[in-house]
Amino acid sequence: MKKAKIIILAGQSNAVGVGHNKYLSKHFDAATEAKFREGYDNILINYSSHAIKSNGFVKTRTNCTEAAKDTLGPEVGIARVLDAKCNGEQFFIVKCAFGGTGLCHDWLSESDPAHISGVEVDFNKAIQFIEPTPAGWCYNELVRLLDESIEILKRDGYEPTVCAFCWMQGENDAMTRENTDAYIDRYERLLGDLESRFAPYFENCRYIEAGVSEIWDFYKEMNENKRSYAEKSDHRYIDTIAAGLTTKNEPEEEPDIYHYDADSIVKLGELFAEAIIG
């Protein structure tokens, strides 16, 4: 039975992807832009993001994001690198990402005391872009989506295996010292609960954590927590600041300083892919 390599892509808005497609021509040649829009036949994606779901695997392309926006996410950069460097090998991205969500609440996993008790957090302490919802709802959606994806692949004759977990999250949590300090404990619980629940499918999984941009109050502390944890855990850490990812250029009329520009969201995906295969 042929193995299906699953790449989980999860997190908040920079995992969703808010890079505007109208700026792609500024950064990429016409053929590359056309490929982004057309999609990759060998890199498929099953995604759940805000009000839209793909409801199965489709080609990885632009607009695997929010329904009302003409945008792209880091999955396009992941696909670009894997397509170029893996000799046509097939990969399956499972993307679960929601803007304005925090590990302090929305991503709490099943063993976290706050998830179990249903304890709420003070939403006034952090920027929120969605209505308050039950603790752990994003984690629960990731579990549902991964279950769905595994069943689809098994039905199609594959043997699924999770080869990578790409995490672009932490911006909301970096708004307070309390959530920054508690971040790694919560993240470890999330990974441990996923591994336990999906134990038959995690095989030599490579974990990759991306740092947050400088706009967030405790970004230095958050990124050091991520870097230190990755180092001791033999995970990969992406230093998005050192890599030159920008948030200050697009849209041109009023730059969105919270989200990566179009070329940077592609580069984020490329950095994830390099860490997956490197």
Tell me the C-alpha distance between 176 and 56, whole Å.
Answer: 37
What's the pLDDT at 45? 98
Percent of the chain past pLDDT 90, that is, above it, reads 86
Q: What is the pLDDT of residue 134?
A: 80
Average pLDDT over residues 209-217: 97
How high is the mean pLDDT of the chain? 92
pLDDT in tens, 18-27: 999 999 999 9
Q: Where are the domains of the chain?
A: 2-277
If one counts every other C-beta atom within 10 angstroms of the C-beta of residue 257, the result is 12
**If DSSP codes are grouped into helix, strand and coil, which group holds residue 58?**
strand
> 114-122: long-range contacts at Cβ-Cβ below 8 A with a sequence spacing of 24 or more?
115/139
pLDDT in tens, 119-177: 554 444 444 444 556 889 999 999 999 999 999 999 999 999 999 999 999 999 999 99
pTM of the predicted model over 0.85 = yes
234, burial (CB in 10 Å: exposed 0-12, middle 13-18, buried 19+): exposed
Characterise 79 by phi-psi region: left (phi > 0), alpha (psi -120 to 50), beta (else): alpha
Provide the pLDDT confidence category of residue 118 given band limits of 50, 70 and 90.
low
**pLDDT higher than 70, residue 47:** yes
pLDDT in tens, 171-204: 999 999 999 999 999 999 999 999 999 999 998 8
**Residues 252-276: what's their mean pLDDT?**
97
In this predicted structure, what is the pLDDT of residue 82?
A: 98
Residue 115 has pLDDT above 80, yes or no: no
pLDDT at 128: 43
Domain 2-277 has CATH 3.40.50.1110: yes
Beta bridge partner(s), residue 164 = 7, 206
pLDDT score, position 119: 52
The pLDDT value given to residue 122: 46
What DSSP character marks residue 120?
Answer: -
Q: Please report the pLDDT score of residue 50 as a whole number.
A: 83
DSSP letter for 99, please.
T
